[in-house]
Each structure stands twice: as structure tokens, then as C-alpha cells.
Amino acid sequence: MTFLLHNKSALVTGAASGIGRAAAIRFAQEGAQVCLADINRAGLEAVADEIGEQAFTCSLDVTDANSYQRCIDQMQERFGAVDIAFLNAGYLGPMEGFESLDAALFDRHININLKGVFFGLKALLPAMAAGGSVVVTASTAGVIGLAESPAYAAAKHGVIGLVKSCAAAFAARDSRVNVICPGAVDTPMIGGGNSGIATPESLPRVPLRGSGSAQHVAELAVWLVSSRAGFVNGQAHIIDAGLLSTFVPAPVGP
């Protein structure tokens, strides 16, 4: 049996929950040693217990550049370098349309969802092993607008621009960096559909029915960080059951 990530060292942020948890488990199943990083310490310990000896935890606040460096230092001490990084931590927060959005909430989105990725990429660039791969989680809200949360959409659009713009710098060090853009997937972030975000089930125009799961997204992340995706760099990969591929006009009339 071939393991896609045999003996690779992998950093996963947002690993305490949802997509990060699912990806960390899949990375370990494929043979990786995983550094689980998150601000949620209790959640981290629970995921570490699930994975067992292939995982260790590192407290991380993505808004603090030093905090990233501490996790990367620990990985370098253990493994010499970082082979894989999944920068996935993120924040959705309250749904505030443009009229009610204030500067404090806008800043919070930019600090966690965009600047948090910037700090991660800056810390990783010199630390990546040759042949390494970074994947960053944006969103379909990084490709089209989200009237319910313009601040989230602005930050996620920024993530895609940032990753595309630093792909050459990673390639110069023989590493790759890509973005994944999930549509609505069933995780604590969207709270069982209570966030006001449309889910695949609630959108008649989604070509594939059924809810997206964290596992669906984790499978794409596994492929992108593996050598099978060795010629894939600097791209945004949408995983949304076809949501953005079709346009169905709103019904006309009463």
C-alpha cells in the first residue's frame, strides 16, 4: 500500500475543528507527522488524542507572527524542515451586511483571515523543505461577493491574490502554494445552517445535491499537498458541488 505523505512533516492550522481537523486526520492516515495548531487548546488536545503518536500540538494565534514562528521552530527541531503546511484557520463571525458593518469587525476579518495567512506564508517561506507544498483555505466568497459578510469576502479575495502573488517566491525555493475555495460545508463555523450562509441544501441551483463535508475538502487538500500535484502551483481550486458554475436567475414576479 502506498501512503501519499509518508514521513512528511505537516503543519495544519485551524486543526481543532472542522476542515482542519479532517485534513489533519487524513494527512496522518497518509503517513504524515502532523503539527496541530490552533487557538482552541482543548479542541487541539482532543484531535491529538484521536490521531495518536503521529500528532503533536502547538498553540497558535494566527494574528501573532511570533506564534507562527514558535510552531515552525518546533517542527524544525523535530523534523529539520516543514514539508507541508495547510493554512486553514479562519473566522466567520456575525453576519453584517455592508450598511451595518463597522470598522472593528472589518479589521477582525482582515487580521484573522488575511493578515493571519500573510504571517503564515512569511514564516513558512524560508522554512519549507525542497519539494514542499502549502495550501491555504479561502472560500467561494473569495471568488464572488457575499452580501451577508462583505468583510469576510474581502479578506478571502485578498487571500487568493496574496497566494497567487507569492507562488513565484515559493517556486524559487522549489515549493508550491495553492488555495482551496470551499462552498458551504457542514462544520461548526456555519453552525448547522444557523449562520445565514446558504448551504448546498438550501440552494436550488447547486448542481450536486447533499451537504459538503469537511472530508470532501480534506481530500482535495491531501491531493494538493502530495507529489501527485507536483505541477500545480499558484491556483485557486473551487470545491463547491458546482455552485459557482451555473447561473439561475431569481424567479420574476410575485
Number of residues that bind ligand NAD (CB under 6 A): 29
Name the residue among 227, 240, 234, 231 with its Cα closest to residue 32: 227
Out of 10, 32, 51, 89, point to the residue binding ligand NAD (CB under 6 A).
Answer: 89
CA distance 180 to 15: 16
User: CB neighbours (10 Å) of residue 253?
Assistant: 3
Q: Binding of ligand NAD at residue 213 (CB under 6 A)?
A: no
Kindly state the smallest distance separating residue 80's Cβ from ligand NAD, in Å.
Answer: 25
User: Which span sits near ligand NAD by CB under 6 A: 26-34, 48-56, 163-171, 177-185?
Assistant: 177-185
Out of 5, 11, 12, 19, point to the residue binding ligand NAD (CB under 6 A).
Answer: 19
Indicate the residue among 3 and 140 with the shorter CB distance to ligand NAD: 140
Active site positions, annotated = 152
The C-alpha cell at 214 is 469537511
Q: To which residue does cell 450562509 refer? A: 197
User: Which span sits near ligand NAD by CB under 6 A: 14-22, 163-171, 202-210, 244-252?
Assistant: 14-22
Out of 33, 88, 133, 175, point to the residue binding ligand NAD (CB under 6 A).
Answer: 88
Q: Binding of ligand NAD at residue 16 (CB under 6 A)?
A: yes
Name the residue among 28, 72, 75, 31 with its Cα closest to residue 48: 28
Out of 17, 149, 226, 233, point to the residue binding ligand NAD (CB under 6 A).
Answer: 17
Q: Which residues pair with 36 in a beta bridge?
A: 12, 57
Name the residue among 154, 69, 143 with its Cα closest to residue 111: 154
Out of 133, 175, 187, 226, point to the residue binding ligand NAD (CB under 6 A).
Answer: 187
Indicate the residue among 147 and 172 with the shorter CB distance to ligand NAD: 147
Alpha helices per DSSP H over 94-209? 103-109, 116-124, 150-172
Q: 199: which residues sit within 8 A by CB, 6+ positions away? A: 184, 186, 190, 193, 211
Torsion angle of the four alpha carbons 37, 76, 87, 22, in this order, in degrees rounded to the nearest 10 = -60
Kindly state the smallest distance separating residue 114's Cβ from ligand NAD, in Å.
Answer: 11
Q: Binding of ligand NAD at residue 40 (CB under 6 A)?
A: yes
Indicate the residue among 38 and 83 with the shorter CB distance to ligand NAD: 38
Within 44-63, which residues bind ligand NAD (CB under 6 A)?
Answer: 60-63
